[in-house]
Structure 1
Amino acid sequence: MQNASRAGRPRASSRETLAEAACELFLEQGYDETSVADITRRAGVSRSSFFNYFSSKSDVLWSGLDARIEAASVALASLGRNADGPAVRTALEPVVRGFAPDPLVLALRNAAAMGVEEELLRDTGIRHARIASAVAAAARSAGVDDIRADILGAALAAAVLSALRVWAEQGAGQASLEAAFDQALRSIHDLPWG
């Protein structure tokens, strides 16, 4: 027996519909001037539907990257004493591999037009801290001293986020995010003042 179809928008498309509506509104009227009510009205869904997918307006921009950072953090934690450069890189690669343009990429490319410069600055710092903390913990588990572990964490987090930002700003379809990440990792070893 076939199930009757559900009324309303299909669950899988509501997240995308909300994200699309939010990005349109951010471009039209700015981030600060856009409310959750504006987004749900544009998307044609209820306020509770919005909060089924996103915890805040800011989460619309970051949820895709946050899921990738969480998965990388789990992979890094599982390395234990086996953490080394290649293993850590392998754990971080899924953060950038196959990253399709999404609301964050659109925001990075159109920060001024969307009025999200402050939002991006503040919340990039949060993501940097999450990645850096996970990498540093993996390094400490492998016996790296605290200062070096913290520096490794900060450098690798900067490589991930810088590659993502540059890739988005240059036009996400124009180049490979994975190549930008490779370049960022190589840059760590070539920094002046070392």
Structure 2
Amino acid sequence: MRTAPTGRPGRPRAISRGMLAEAACELFLERGYDATTVGDIASRAGIARSSFFNYAAGKAELVWGALDERIAGLEAAIDRGASVAEALRGLADGFHPDQLALVLAQADAMRMADHVDLESAVRGYRIARVVARGLRAVGEDPLGAEVRGGAHGAAVLAALREWAHDGAGASAFATHLARATAYVPTR
């Protein structure tokens, strides 16, 4: 007697990077960040561990990937000659709540506050470096450009944290970023 196959025949179910990120955040809340493996995330999402890597290089990329793409856009805008203010508006425009907002708001519950601190520092430095390069390109003193670049990196991250804690989506991220960058000194 033959038994019926347990899985659905044909193509595997469709999955997206966003679905993987949702599965990851569920597991981070249940088990904590360090106790959650890529295999756990893939299993929760219903895919093979090896398929996970078609969507992300690791679990950190699921959380930070959308921001990394926006930082790359910031860099491209600066390289095209956009002003720092224009490039930062581009980073903020259309920024929608995603897993990063959940992680920033729930880092302690996910037992990943140290991870958030480390990864935030990396992104802040990348933003600082790009902004400083843009400021130097328009003739700003190198030291002043570095200081203001660092302040802009800190402003972006402070705005992200405030936006997440206030209920991401309740207001536009651009509003929070405009408030934060208002504290950055001009020449």
Instruction: Report the TM-score, using the length of structure 1 for normalisation.
Output: 0.86
Residue type at the aligned position of 2:68? D
> What count of residue pairs does the alignment treat as equivalent?
178
Match of 1:48 among 43, 47, 50: 50
> Which range moves more in the overlay, 156-165 or 113-122?
156-165
Change (3 A) 1:189 1:136: closer
Matched, 1:96 2:89: no
Match of 1:58 among 57, 60, 71: 60
Q: 8 Å contact 2:148–2:184 — kept in the other structure?
A: no
Q: Which residue of 2 aligns with 1:3?
A: none
Cα distance in 1 between the residues matched to 2:124 and 2:56: 20
1:170 Cα deviation (Å)? 1.3
Match of 2:112 among 111, 116, 121: 116
Q: 8 Å contact 1:68–1:95 — kept in the other structure?
A: yes
Cα distance in 2 between the residues matched to 1:36 and 1:62: 15
Residue ranges of structure 2 left out of the alignment (5+ in a row): 1-9
SS in structure 2 of the partner of residue 113 of structure 1: coil
State the 4+ residue runs in structure 1 displaced beyond 6 angstroms: none
Computed over aligned residues only, the root mean square deviation of the Cα atoms, in angstroms, reads: 1.7
Cα distance in 2 between the residues matched to 1:93 and 1:116: 29
Residue ranges of structure 1 left out of the alignment (5+ in a row): 1-5
Instruction: Report the TM-score, using the length of structure 2 for normalisation.
Output: 0.89
Q: Which residue of 1 aligns with 2:3?
A: none
Q: 8 Å contact 1:31–1:116 — kept in the other structure?
A: yes
Matched, 1:32 2:59: no
The share of aligned pairs that are identical, in percent, is 44
Match of 2:102 among 106, 115, 124: 106
Q: Which residue of 2 aligns with 1:143?
A: 139
Cα distance in 1 between the residues matched to 2:42 and 2:97: 22
Correspondence 1:146-185 to 2 at 5 A? 146-185=142-181
